[in-house]
Amino acid sequence: MTVRVYEEDGFELSTICRQLKMKASDGKMRVTDAADTKALLRIIQSISSPKAEPFKQWLAKVGYERMQEIADPEQSLDRFNGYLYLLLGYG
Mean pLDDT of 68-89: 85
Please state which of the ranges 18-32, 58-72, 76-90 shows the lowest mean pLDDT.
76-90
Q: Structural domain boundaries of the chain?
A: 1-48, 50-91
Are the CB atoms for 32 and 21 separated by under 8 Å? yes
Comparison of pLDDT for 72 and 91, the residue scoring more: 72
Rounded to an integer, the average pLDDT of 9-35 is: 84
pTM for the predicted model, two decimal places: 0.52
Cα angle 36, 41, 47; round to 5: 125
